[in-house]
Chain A
Amino acid sequence: MNNVIELVDVSYCYPDGSLGIKSVTLNVAKDEKVAILGSNGSGKSTLILLMAGLLKPTRGEVRIFGLNPEKKYIENIRRKIGVVFQNPDDFLFNSTVMEELTYVPKQLRWSREEIEGRVKEIAEIFGIDKILEKPPFRLSGGEKKKVEIASVLIYRPEVLLLDEPTANVDGKTKRKIIEILKNYQGTIVISTHEIQIAEMIAEKFVLINGKHEIEAVGGKEILQKYDLLEEIGVI
């Protein structure tokens, strides 16, 4: 049992009838670093949400740690999977950054010392120790993104799913995020339309085309096939 996430012929349709993703079969192994590459609106975000068990596929089957993400196991799955949403405004809903960081640890009933230690540690890594008492909606775009990723990494999920983690942030923040993700020990799935970002983090690449299907899957060599990359619209 080496696969942490398995998708078998998965399709998803949104309630308004628009297609999210079509007939996707994909496995993600433990500690694998995967990048999903595709143009805007190709279904990358949908794929991330399906892999997290947050959306239920319209057709096909999703297995996470060999389990169906249904009511019985859902909290167990959530504990092991961290999802970083594309827009931090969707994600940050607590009244201070501190509460944001401790949101999951509190649910997991960590001790106070443990929480304090971990917050200090993670705040240093991200360089957000000065803004812990600020309300998240008053932060700058880059700060919001860092808080978002920090509040997921804090509970040490085994799998990290990131939807466009470097969109709309400046160069300095971008480098910081990439450095942190490179040091992360565990499975990573990242969706992006920037090849450079994907190349720096991932070793396996999934290309999604404009018809919401998987065009190709492969290692670094696939990034040399310029005609393919151009066809799916990432260069």
Chain B
Amino acid sequence: MHIPDGYLDIYLVLTMYLLSATVVALSIFRTKTLSQKFGIVAAAIFVAQMLNWPIPGGTSAHFVGGSLAAILLGPYAGCVAMSVVLIVQCLVFNDGGITALGANIWNMAVVNVFVGYFVYKSFEKYGKELAAFLAGWLGITLAAIFAGLEIGLSANFIYGVFITVPIMAVWHAALGVIEGIITAAVLRAVYPSISTEVSKISKKSLLAIILMILVSPIFAYSAELVGYTEPLEKAAENLGLEENPLYSGVLPDYVVPNLDPYLSVLISATLGTFIVFGLGYILNARTNRKNA
């Protein structure tokens, strides 16, 4: 479910970063005593995600754990812990792109966590394990739907939401059954030994975040509308930046008029490569000398 770089266009990248930053900042604020201990908890979630669960048919699935984190730690702490996991995955293992980090945090550390928590609390009275199963299953499915929405809305991705969302939803609703079973099983094992009593969560702010999750696709959609009418290059054109003075000064287009366009590309490519390589070469020579 980790979205790599290159799937989302720049408008979605920025929107998702903004949305996620808001909720993560609020979560950090709410947990008040955000402490180092989250690091270890996040590492535990990370390791649990490394398990490769066999599923019928010979393939396998991974456990995400957003809902579990929400149930065990409460939604705010769960959101922070999941964000930490995603940051490490992005910065160490290249799981999920840096530009897509905002979107990935939104899907797996916000949607999965808060929806998981909401579902768990709503069904807790019918039994803890059932509630945990539903939270695990719905949390992951909804997270996948959001991932589908984001890449579907992206101008850079050829398939629209009517293809991406059903595919992501169906696939993860099936896989989500395992997520649900494991979430329930973990809770059964954990429950007797630690109190999962989470400090009082204010209903108002929780509802506000759920509401924010629900309307977030509208944000993403409107960001796209802006994007369609005003791509970066067009914006530059409007601002009169297209005819870059440095460009005409440095490159042969100005010096040699009537140059064949293909030849001009070739020349600028050679020149560009040459300069970058040359500067890199000097850098290399310098560091070599220093360490000799």
Chains A and B in contact, CB within 8 Å: yes
The contact string, 1 if C-beta is below 8 Å from chain B, for chain A 82-102, is: 000000000001010000000
Determine if A126 is an interface residue (Cβ-Cβ < 8 Å): no
Determine how close the nearest CB of chain B comes to the CB of A94; give it in whole angstroms: 10
A135 touching B189 by the CB < 8 A rule? no
Determine if B193 is an interface residue (Cβ-Cβ < 8 Å): yes
Cα–Cα, bound, A95→B193 (Å): 9
Describe A's contact surface by its main secondary structure: loop
Determine if A137 is an interface residue (Cβ-Cβ < 8 Å): yes
Nearest-CB residue, chain B, relative to A93: B189
Nearest-CB residue, chain B, relative to A15: B50
Interface size on B, residues (CB 8 A): 3
Nearest-CB residue, chain B, relative to A94: B189
A137 touching B193 by the CB < 8 A rule? yes
B189 contacts across to A, CB distance below 8 A? 93
A135 contacts across to B, CB distance below 8 A? 192-193
Interface residues of A in 120-159 (CB under 8 A from B): 135, 137
Determine how close the nearest CB of chain A comes to the CB of B189; give it in whole angstroms: 7
The contact string, 1 if C-beta is below 8 Å from chain A, for chain B 178-209, is: 00000000000100110000000000000000
A93 contacts across to B, CB distance below 8 A? 189
B192 contacts across to A, CB distance below 8 A? 95, 135
Determine how close the nearest CB of chain A comes to the CB of B51; give it in whole angstroms: 13
B193 contacts across to A, CB distance below 8 A? 135, 137
Interface residues of B in 257-273 (CB under 8 A from A): none
Nearest-CB residue, chain B, relative to A135: B192
Cα–Cα, bound, A92→B193 (Å): 13
Interface residues of B in 196-255 (CB under 8 A from A): none
Interface residues of B in 147-196 (CB under 8 A from A): 189, 192-193
Cα–Cα, bound, A137→B194 (Å): 12
Cα–Cα, bound, A137→B189 (Å): 12
Cα–Cα, bound, A93→B188 (Å): 12
Cα–Cα, bound, A93→B185 (Å): 13
Cα–Cα, bound, A95→B192 (Å): 8
Nearest-CB residue, chain A, relative to B193: A137
Nearest-CB residue, chain A, relative to B188: A95
Binding site for B on A (CB under 8 A): 93, 95, 135, 137
Binding site for A on B (CB under 8 A): 189, 192-193
Q: Can you offer 5 A-B residue contacts whose CB atoms are under 8 A? A: A93-B189, A95-B192, A135-B192, A135-B193, A137-B193
The 4 residue pairs across chains A and B that have the minimum distance between CB atoms: A137-B193, A95-B192, A135-B192, A93-B189
